[in-house]
Amino acid sequence: MKKMINHIVLISLDNLRGDSFGPDKYKYLPANIRENLKSGSHLMEELAAEGLNFRNCFSAAPFTTASHASIFTGFLPLHHGVFEYFNSDMKEKTLFEYAQKEGFSTIFQTDFPMILGEPIGFTRGIDKYYIEDEYAALEELRSHIHSKSVSFFHFGGIHYPYGFHTLKFGGDDYRKKVQNLEKELDIDKNKLPKDQFDEADRMGEDKDLLFRYKRIVEHLYARKDFKRLTELYFEGIDYFLEHRFRSFIVELRKVLENSNHLIVLFGDHGEDWSDDSKGHYKSLTPGVLHVPLIILGSDIVQGVIESNVRTIDIAPTILNVLGIEVANIMDGVVLDIQNPIEIEKNEMTSIAQVWLGVGKQELISHIDSAHRNKGFTEKMKTIKRGESIIKHDYQLVRKFDKQGQLENEKMVSLSGSPVPNDVTEQLLKELEEYNKTSLNIDRKNLTDDSIREQLKLLGYNI
């Protein structure tokens, strides 16, 4: 870098599709879904135009915990250990730990303390930890503006309840939205949803509204009304961007004014409603794995990167900018953000997997125990249910049955171009090599009943 960067700000827009803005808008949506679809906010386009916009960035996992662990460590899930839905802490150092050791103040703000908190290791290397209070975290950043810092701001407002997150941010708009949808769809507001998990540990009316919103989502999915679900999702994106995120960006710029800084804006996974995807969990569709990545700040030239990159490339890139050496060679690579032409010369391979495990009550008890003990004491049983590998314009998706046996295999062309005959064999070989390097953790098959309970938790009618 031409100047020493004193402040790194990472911003996670949880659940944001990579094709939710700009020239790629609705790229991975079917024609019948995107027809007449409207979204009014242009904030993401404005931010993308100010820096480097990576138009083809892919996530390492379709759910928040494993995806963020990969972003923070630069390792793929099987290598850092957090490849399941609550089961293990991270086995590799995070960029915050490296930065803290070099004298950087570290700040962490999250909307999802249940899945981005202490038990899994997300507070390691963190000096100040905040929950649903981005402005308190901004003030902490301001207090270190004459020194150096690495900050993380996580926003859950694009997750459902789309746009609102909690009453603190949605208020009466949130209440009215739920009431109107219940009336429109003739839904019993007192009936509990199948999925009662809460990433934010809501209480009282907040939890009631969340469950009522989830009941609405389940009702629409049962009707296969994927268009209405997608409309709600994009309406929620607009609401979040204009009612919460735009004002945050304004204040962030005030804090960073006249400092040498880098802002790294990304998604952890997207959202997709179809026969192959119920939101994002368990999904390996392009609408879920394709995420935004925008880097802007001091000495960053404006531009667009077309070649494939991965969220695992974020950590090594940041640590390289800061001049920090890492202990282990990461799965991610350094993106030469000062020389975008060099990035375009390489085409990264992206791998993602889905692992599922225990039943509903055991999962909830496991999470509660982890938070009480500030860590995991016993492993839950899990098996691999799906995996994806993306290279160039091609995606290979493999799905496995309840015993972990291959169920089906599909090659997809992301651009619509014909798939060369040798591509499938090449991608299978790369997947095999990745699976050989997994952690030495004993995996046992689940009983049919336990898998059935887990899938019920995720909202499947079985």
pLDDT digits (tens, 9 = 90+) for 72-93: 999 999 999 998 766 678 899 9
Is 255 found in the same domain as 205? Answer: no
Least-confidence region, from 53-57, 283-287, 377-381: 377-381
Angle at 422 between CA 416 and CA 426, to 5 degrees: 100
Is 21 found in the same domain as 151? Answer: yes
Q: Which two tokens stand for residue 388?
A: 């994806």
Q: Which two tokens stand for residue 105?
A: 């103040």
Is 393 found in the same domain as 325? Answer: no
User: Closest Cα partner for 53 from 5, 28, 18?
Assistant: 18
Asked if the structure places residue 165 within a domain, the reply is: no
Q: Mean pLDDT across the stretch 6-18?
A: 98
Strand order in the sheet with 383-391: 350-356, 383-391, 394-400, 406-413
Asked if the structure places residue 28 within a domain, the reply is: yes
Q: Mean pLDDT across the stretch 108-127?
A: 92
Q: What is the DSSP letter of 73?
A: H
Tell me the C-alpha distance between 366 and 37, whole Å.
40
Q: Cβ contacts of residue 310 below 8 Å, gap of 6+?
A: 57, 58, 59, 60, 332, 348, 350
Is 341 found in the same domain as 355? Answer: no
Asked if the structure places residue 100 within a domain, the reply is: yes
Name the domain boundary from 315, 347, 379. 347
Using DSSP, how many helices (H) and how many strands (E) does the chain show? 16, 15
| Confidence grade of residue 2 (pLDDT, cut at 50, 70, 90) | low
Q: Cβ contacts of residue 422 below 8 Å, gap of 6+?
A: none
Q: Mean pLDDT across the stretch 265-274?
A: 98
Is 146 found in the same domain as 58? Answer: yes
Asked if the structure places residue 462 within a domain, the reply is: no
How many structural domains is the chain composed of?
3
Could you tell me which residue, 100 or 379, shows the higher pLDDT? 100
Name the domain boundary from 313, 347, 381. 347
Is 398 found in the same domain as 296? Answer: no
Indicate the angle between helix axes 314-321 and 64-73, nearest 10 degrees: 30
Is 267 found in the same domain as 121? Answer: yes
CB 360 within 8 A of CB 457: yes
Asked if the structure places residue 2 within a domain, the reply is: no
Could you tell me which residue, 443 or 32, shows the higher pLDDT? 32
pLDDT digits (tens, 9 = 90+) for 445-462: 333 444 334 333 333 333
Is 220 found in the same domain as 233? Answer: no
Asked if the structure places residue 109 within a domain, the reply is: yes
Asked if the structure places residue 247 within a domain, the reply is: yes
The CATH number covering residue 27 comes to 3.40.720.10
CB 218 within 8 A of CB 188: no
Asked if the structure places residue 164 within a domain, the reply is: no
CB 174 within 8 A of CB 187: no
pLDDT digits (tens, 9 = 90+) for 215-242: 999 999 999 999 999 999 999 999 999 9
Name the domain boundary from 303, 330, 347. 347
Is 340 found in the same domain as 237? Answer: yes
Is 360 found in the same domain as 295? Answer: no
Is 340 found in the same domain as 245? Answer: yes
CB 266 within 8 A of CB 293: yes
Domain enclosing residue 266, as ranges: 7-159+228-347
CA torsion through residues 440, 313, 248, 142, sign: positive
Is 269 found in the same domain as 141? Answer: yes
| pLDDT computed for residue 362 by the predictor | 66
pLDDT digits (tens, 9 = 90+) for 328-342: 899 999 999 999 888
Tell me the C-alpha distance between 412 and 94, whole Å.
33
